[in-house]
Structures are given as structure tokens and as C-alpha cells.
């Protein structure tokens, strides 16, 4: 099936509880309301929700904590990110929460931690959380710069919320018997679970363009990923930057594509592509309210179509 026009509902991210310890570049907090709609529309609730490209895992955590699945499996190839999930889900989880809460945050102590080569998984996890909070855009990949001015003149500390982080980590550790983390290639995780019909996958690979800047691991064989996904027994939802080559891959594998609107951190409206076997649960566009930002999308579904025919650049796929 071909692509459907843009869905002009713009999600207010403030309506989604933040459950992840990460502020994640390319994070999908804004997608959570769509994922709720998708999972509720399934004939059966999945027993297990699998997020093979987990990053900050906001979607998977939301599905678990909102009772939309009984178990959660996260996959991630980046060893820094993996160190955080492994630690939180081990008996060291509480210790990490305490370490964050009691850390004496000064420019010197931060720089000291960032200059270290961590010797233990625990130290690596702490260093990763710190990098995620003091580097611009939450980017953990090598080359990311430190905050200078930050928010509200708070400089380096402008995203350091130790008590909030402690609480979020504490909530996750309480549920760790229901959460599994698998380090390594997300495609292997999909393949291992391909024959199960009691699972649902949320697949959010690195952006084809910006991925190179945002993540240490951004090379994904998209052709292989689509081949794999189109054969899984469980249902799935994929999220991509909108790009013609990816849309062609989706069409080739008989998947539907819909463009959805999101507001980025600069409050401009962006479009992202969702792909799945049947996106009819996306339904009719909802009311947009009176926000002027929505006006160019509202009543002009052609803007979506334009993007669909478009000459948008995208990275190598």
C-alpha cells in the first residue's frame, strides 16, 4: 500500500510522563500517544513489548508502565547506553540513583568524570548519565560539546535534575523483574522473536541523515531491516525520518506509511514517517485547536502529499 497524507495532530509533549533517565536525541516522547492508540487497537494486548533500538526507551517504558504490555525487552548496541540499562536493571540500580542524588556537581567534578576511562560498568553508567545531561542536545557520541550558557543561565547544570533522575531510576528498578535488556544488534533481537505472535515491536532506528551526528552507531542496513520486519509474526510500528528511499522500501515490503506531525525542541513542526502493516488505527485527524503553528498543516493535507512526492534529502540507505 502507498502512503497516506500527513496526520495533522500535533502532540503536546507535556502530556506524556517522562519516565526515561535519558534526555535522548531523536527521543520519541511525542510519539507515545500514537503508540497508545496503536496498542489499544490491537485485537490482543501483546505479552511483551520489544524495542530493539532502545536509546532512552521512552516508548517501551510507557507501554509497560501504562499496562499496555506485561513485559518489556530493550535492545541497544551502544555500550555507553547499554551500561546504563544494565546497571539500572541490576542490583546496582539503587546505588546509581543514590550516586546521582549525592553527586557534588561543580564544573571541576564534571570535567574530572568526563575525562576518566571508566573501569567498571557502574562508573561507565554514571559517566554516561552525566554526559547526557551536560553535553549539548544530550548527545553522548564523541565530539559533542558541553553546555555553555544552558537553560535559564544555569550553565552546565541546566539539565542536571538529580532528584528527578533518582525517582525515575527508582521507579524502573522496582519493575526490573519485568524488564530485560539485551546488548547488541537490534536486528538479531528482532530475528530471535520473529516467530512469536505475542509480541509487539517498536522499531526506531537511527535517522538516515542526522543519525551520523547524533549516535556513535548510526549505520543500519535498512534494506535488511525491512526484509526482516516484514516477516515477523507479531505486530510492529516503525518510525523514520521522512525520506523517499525509505518510503520506497516500505512500499516494496507491502507496508503502509503515514506522516505525522511533531514539534521539535525549537517549536517548529516537523514530519516523521510511521510505517506498519495496517495504520488504520491512526484514524481521522483530530482537532488542532487554534495554535497558529498548526495552520499550515490544518486543512491542507496537500502539504503532506507534497512531502511524499518530494525531493527531501536523506542519508544513504
Ligand X SMILES: C[S@@+](CC[C@H](N)C(=O)[O-])C[C@H]1O[C@@H](n2cnc3c(N)ncnc32)[C@H](O)[C@@H]1O
56 binds ligand X (CB under 6 A): yes
241 binds ligand X (CB under 6 A): no
Kindly give, in sequence order, each residue whose CB lies less than 8 Å from that of residue 5, ignoring residues fewer than 6 positions away: 258, 259, 301, 302, 304, 305, 308
Residue 98: CA count within 13 A, CB half-sphere: 6
DSSP secondary structure of 185-211 = -HHHHHHHTTT-SSEEEEE-PPPTTTH
We find the least distance from the C-beta atom of residue 65 to ligand X, in angstroms, to be: 15
We find the least distance from the C-beta atom of residue 38 to ligand X, in angstroms, to be: 15
215 binds ligand X (CB under 6 A): yes
55 binds ligand X (CB under 6 A): yes
Q: Is 61 left (phi over 0), alpha (psi -120 to 50) or beta?
A: alpha
**In the set 5, 8, 138, 206, which binds ligand X (CB under 6 A)?**
206
Neighbours of 56 (CB within 10 A): 25
We find the least distance from the C-beta atom of residue 221 to ligand X, in angstroms, to be: 9
**In the set 185, 277, 288, 312, which binds ligand X (CB under 6 A)?**
185
> Which of 146-154, 173-181, 199-207, 296-304 is the region at the interface with ligand X (rule: CB under 6 A)?
199-207
Q: H/E element holding 235?
A: strand 235-241
Task: Tell me the number of residues near ligand X by CB under 6 A.
Answer: 24
CB 159 within 8 A of CB 130: no
How would you list the strands of the sheet with 48-51, edge to edge? 3-10, 256-263, 269-276, 235-241, 199-203, 48-51, 71-76, 179-183
28 binds ligand X (CB under 6 A): yes
**Rounded alpha-carbon distances, angstroms, from residue 263 to 61, 67, 162:** 22, 27, 27
Angstrom distance (rounded) from CA 12 to CA 273: 18
CB closer to ligand X out of 5 and 27: 27
We find the least distance from the C-beta atom of residue 184 to ligand X, in angstroms, to be: 7
**Quick one: how far is CA 21 from the chain centroid?**
12
CB closer to ligand X out of 98 and 270: 270
315 binds ligand X (CB under 6 A): no
Binding mask 68-87 for ligand X (x = CB under 6 A): -------xxxx--x------
We find the least distance from the C-beta atom of residue 239 to ligand X, in angstroms, to be: 7
> Which of 102-110, 156-164, 202-210, 275-283 is the region at the interface with ligand X (rule: CB under 6 A)?
202-210
CB closer to ligand X out of 185 and 192: 185
CB closer to ligand X out of 257 and 303: 257
For ligand X, the binding residues (CB under 6 A) are 24, 26-28, 52-53, 55-59, 75-78, 81, 185-186, 204-206, 215, 217, 220
Amino acid at each position: 500500500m502507498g502512503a497516506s497524507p500527513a496526520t495533522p495532530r500535533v502532540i503536546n509533549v507535556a502530556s506524556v510522563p517522562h519516565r526515561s533517565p535519558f534526555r535522548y536525541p531523536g527521543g520519541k516522547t511525542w510519539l507515545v500517544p500514537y503508540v497508545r492508540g496503536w496498542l489499544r487497537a490491537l485485537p490482543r494486548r501483546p505479552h511483551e513489548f520489544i524495542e530493539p533500538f532502545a536509546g532512552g526507551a521512552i516508548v517501551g517504558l510507557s507501554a509497560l508502565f501504562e499496562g499496555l504490555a506485561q513485559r518489556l525487552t530493550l535492545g541497544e548496541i551502544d555500550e555507553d547506553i547499554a551500561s546504563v540499562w544494565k546497571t539500572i536493571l541490576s542490583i546496582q540500580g539503587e546505588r546509581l540513583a543514590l550516586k546521582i542524588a549525592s553527586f557534588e556537581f561543580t564544573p571541576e567534578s564534571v570535567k574530572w568524570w568526563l575525562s576518566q576511562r571508566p573501569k567498571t560498568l557502574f562508573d561507565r553508567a554514571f559517566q554516561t548519565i552525566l554526559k547526557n545531561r551536560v553535553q549539548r542536545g544530550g548527545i553522548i557520541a564523541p565530539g559533542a560539546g558541553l553546555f555553555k550558557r544552558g537553560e535559564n543561565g544555569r550553565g552546565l547544570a541546566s539539565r542536571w535534575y538529580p532528584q528527578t533522575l533518582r525517582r525515575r531510576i527508582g521507579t524502573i528498578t522496582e519493575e526490573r523483574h519485568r524488564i530485560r535488556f539485551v546488548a547488541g544488534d537490534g536486528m538479531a533481537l528482532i530475528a530471535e522473536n520473529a516467530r512469536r505472535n505475542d509480541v509487539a515491536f517498536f522499531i526506531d532506528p537511527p535517522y538516515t541523515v542526522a543519525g551520523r551526528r547524533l549516535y556513535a552507531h548510526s549505520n543500519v542496513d535498512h534494506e535488511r531491516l525491512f526484509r526482516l520486519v516484514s516477516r515477523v509474526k507479531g505486530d510492529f510500528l516503525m518510525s523514520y525520518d521522512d525520506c523517499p528511499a525509505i518510503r520506497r522500501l516500505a512500499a516494496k515490503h507491502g507496508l503502509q506509511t503515514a506522516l505525522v506531525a511533531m514539534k521539535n525542541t525549537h517549536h517548529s513542526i516537523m514530519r516523521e514517517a510511521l510505517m506498519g502493516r495496517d495504520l488504520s488505527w491512526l484514524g481521522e485527524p483530530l482537532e488542532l485547536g487554534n495554535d497558529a503553528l498548526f495552520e499550515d498543516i490544518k486543512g491542507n493535507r496537500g502539504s503532506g502529499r507534497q512531502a511524499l512526492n518530494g525531493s527531501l534529502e536523506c542519508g544513504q540507505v
